[in-house]
Amino acid sequence: MFIPKYIYLITIAGCLFGNNCKHKETVRSVLPITSNLSFTTNPANNWQVGYSLGDTLDPAQFQLCTFVDTSNNLIGLWHPAAGSGGYYPYTGQNRDSISRTDKTNSWALRPHEIAMEGSNSGQYSMLRFVAPASGKYHIKVIFEGVHFRLSTTDVHILLNSRHLFDDIIDGYGGDSTFHAITGSHPSAFYEESLSLGKNDILTFAVGYGANKSFYNDTTGLLIVIEMV
């Protein structure tokens, strides 16, 4: 049955969308239909967790992750496959209501924040949202470095194959209680209202950056999508 208003809220954590915190009023007025990635099924709830086969953002090269690790019990991670050879690229999420670190205490995520990291061969970590109905969608996105040794990545948003947003992350821009905000470009922001057709795809992607190394590259992603 068609529902005339869909709201897809991936995470809200403190005053993230603008210094005056006006987004808080918007957040209180919406009902999150999907607040978490699934760690049992992929795809699920209009979200597809995956990666690129090569060093490309070509939608034709997108692949779904097939293995999920929930052994942390707080941060779940999707991987291309089981075993060390299938570890990268990964996409995960802090499923707790407070900030948490990974098992090695190398990176931290805000409540319900998504973590993404590409591979050392240039493969992208990719998260895709498939529009459930035609209409106008308001989108707010933050990419931020969340690795304590400072993330250096390239970040992107695509509508189908068209680039909407391309930027870099250089530094730490995450929860300041775990590490001071630092670096030349620790966060990147995008906000726009878009007309989407049913089954149009928004892709959020993280690559290994200009240094072409995935070391210490964990990048956080916060998304609010509202059909208006």
Q: How many domains does the chain have?
A: 1
Q: If you search the block for the tokens 């992350």, which residue do you land on?
A: 169
pLDDT tens sequence across 199-218: 999 999 999 999 999 999 99
Q: If you search the block for the tokens 């007025």, which residue do you land on?
A: 29
Q: Note whether residue 212 is domain-resident.
A: yes
Q: Note whether residue 2 is domain-resident.
A: no
Q: Note whether residue 1 is domain-resident.
A: no
Q: Note whether residue 154 is domain-resident.
A: yes
Residue 70 tokens read as 């929930």
Q: Using CB atoms within 10 A of its CB, is residue 11 exposed (0-12), middle (13-18) or buried (19+)? A: buried
pTM of the predicted structure, to 2 decimals = 0.89
Bigger pLDDT: 13 or 89? Answer: 89
Residue 40 has pLDDT above 80, yes or no: yes
- pLDDT at residue 28, as a whole number: 33
Q: CB neighbours (10 Å) of residue 18?
A: 12
Q: Note whether residue 83 is domain-resident.
A: yes
- pLDDT at residue 8, as a whole number: 53
End-to-end CA separation in angstroms for the chain: 18
Strands (E), 22-64: 47-52, 62-64
pLDDT tens sequence across 118-172: 999 999 999 999 999 999 999 999 999 999 999 999 999 999 999 999 999 999 9
- Mean confidence (pLDDT) of the chain: 87
- pLDDT at residue 73, as a whole number: 81
Q: What does the DSSP assignment read for 126-185?
A: EEEEE-SSSEEEEEEEEEEE-BTT-EEEEEEEEETTEEEEEEEEEEE-S-TTTS--EEEE
Residue 4 has pLDDT above 50, yes or no: no
| Domain with 170 in it | 7-227
Distance CA 60, CA 128 (A): 13
Q: Note whether residue 20 is domain-resident.
A: yes
Bigger pLDDT: 70 or 4? Answer: 70
Q: Note whether residue 115 is domain-resident.
A: yes
- Using an 8 Å Cβ cutoff, are 77 and 184 in contact? no
Per-residue confidence band for 228, with pLDDT thresholds at 50, 70 and 90: confident
- pLDDT at residue 1, as a whole number: 32
Which helix (H) or strand (E) element contains residue 23?
A: helix 23-28
Q: Note whether residue 177 is domain-resident.
A: yes
